[in-house]
């Protein structure tokens, strides 16, 4: 695949979508933040470019994602596709513009989420998997970067994105696809199931095992097979496999509520074609919540957890707040600052850039 041409802000594609800025990049191409002139709304735009002699898999990646998003139309927590077009050398997919991903939030929280946050995430993330599995789709590339929050502060849904590696696990007639070996690793090595590492075909159980690793990563800040040094990618992959093979769930979940070990043991025990019991898995995590009297909320919604000490000190200087400042003035300042920090996680696209239109892509 040839390098994707960088599109500068202000350009218009398909005579309808104004580019604001690039917000992501992958093997498929680039993702841009933009504005839909026709529908007067902010959108995310995926653009994939290739040469005519590129292999079929590269050419069909975004087309396949578009087909799956069409099947998932109307599902909560799934970005809604509003436009798709393909030419001989391009694919353009336009969908809902969402907020930042969980990996970015995780880094902002100094690489550690509270238990109550992870339990709330587990419930929603399991629901997303249950939704796509009910449509006969497996994701095959679960990672924190593929779970996003909304850019609407009132929307508490966790969204699942990026279906470029996803596939249907049932054929026409409703029959499960047969088990295959030597298909190669599909997905991200850090969170891939052991079965996927062995090169075996994946099913719903593999999505669920990947989710388990993500939750533990959120609680511990790392996984035993992270930061492995190797001379090349192939050697590193082998070392990750060995580490996963030799890491028992009891050790992996040490220091965590026992339900996490139960969850991993359950999903690892599932057969290739077996229907997972989503209610059972949700009940495990809800038990942790009930036992600890957790509220169903996320820590990044609390201004005190996302404030930056240095910024706060500078703001205090600008506001002339010191030890002699009255408590009422300090309280008012903290209230105003909390609104600023809470808003910083939800930055909608400004429509003013429409006037910057330069030319049509």
Give whole-number Cα distances, 215 to 123, 153, 286, in Å: 11, 23, 14
What is the secondary structure of 255-311 as a DSSP string?
Answer: TS-HHHHHHHHHHHHS-TTPPP-HHHHHHHHHHHHHHHT--S--GGGSHHHH--HHH
Residues 6+ apart with CB under 8 A from 219: 112, 113, 115, 118, 256, 260
The catalytically annotated residue of 36, 123, 141, 308 is: 141
Distance between CA atoms of residues 89 and 84, nearest Å: 14
Distance between CA atoms of residues 335 and 193, nearest Å: 45
Give catalytic status of residue 136 as yes or no: no
Distance between CA atoms of residues 241 and 97, nearest Å: 36
Name the one residue in this structure whose structure tokens are 């190669």.
184
Distance between CA atoms of residues 74 and 61, nearest Å: 22
Catalytic residues: 141
């Amino acid at each position: 695949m040839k390098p994707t041409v960088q599109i500068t802000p202000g350009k218009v594609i398909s005579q309808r979508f104004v580019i604001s800025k690039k917000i992501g990049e992958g093997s498929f191409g680039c993702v841009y933040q933009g504005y839909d002139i026709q529908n007067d709304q902010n959108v995310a735009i995926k653009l994939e470019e290739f040469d005519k002699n590129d292999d079929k898999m590269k050419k069909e990646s975004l087309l396949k994602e578009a087909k799956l998003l069409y099947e998932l139309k109307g599902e909560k927590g799934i970005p809604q596709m509003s436009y798709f077009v393909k030419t001989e050398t391009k694919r353009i997919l336009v969908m809902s513009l969402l907020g930042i991903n969980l990996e970015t939030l995780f880094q902002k929280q100094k690489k550690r989420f509270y238990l109550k946050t992870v339990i709330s995430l587990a419930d929603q993330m399991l629901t997303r998997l249950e939704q796509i599995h009910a449509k006969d789709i497996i994701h095959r590339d679960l990672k924190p970067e593929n779970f996003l929050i909304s850019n609407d502060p009132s929307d508490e849904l966790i969204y699942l994105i990026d279906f470029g590696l996803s596939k249907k696990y049932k054929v026409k007639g409703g029959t499960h696809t047969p088990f295959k070996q030597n298909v190669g690793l599909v997905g991200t090595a850090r969170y891939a199931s052991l079965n996927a590492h062995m090169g075996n075909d994946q099913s719903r159980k593999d999505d669920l095992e990947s989710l388990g690793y993500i939750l533990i990563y959120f609680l511990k800040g790392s996984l035993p097979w992270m930061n492995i040094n190797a001379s090349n990618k192939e050697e590193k992959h082998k070392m990750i496999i060995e580490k996963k093979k030799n890491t028992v769930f009891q050790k992996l979940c040490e220091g965590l509520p026992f339900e996490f070990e139960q969850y991993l043991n359950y999903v690892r025990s599932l057969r290739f074609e077996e229907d997972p019991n989503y209610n059972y898995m949700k009940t495990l995590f809800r038990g942790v919540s009930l036992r600890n009297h957790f509220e169903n909320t996320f820590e990044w919604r609390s201004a005190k957890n996302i404030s930056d000490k240095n910024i706060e000190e500078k703001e205090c200087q600008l506001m002339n707040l010191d030890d002699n400042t009255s408590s009422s003035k300090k309280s008012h300042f903290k209230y105003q600052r909390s609104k600023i920090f809470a808003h910083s996680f939800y930055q909608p696209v400004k429509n003013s850039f429409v006037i910057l239109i330069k030319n049509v892509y």
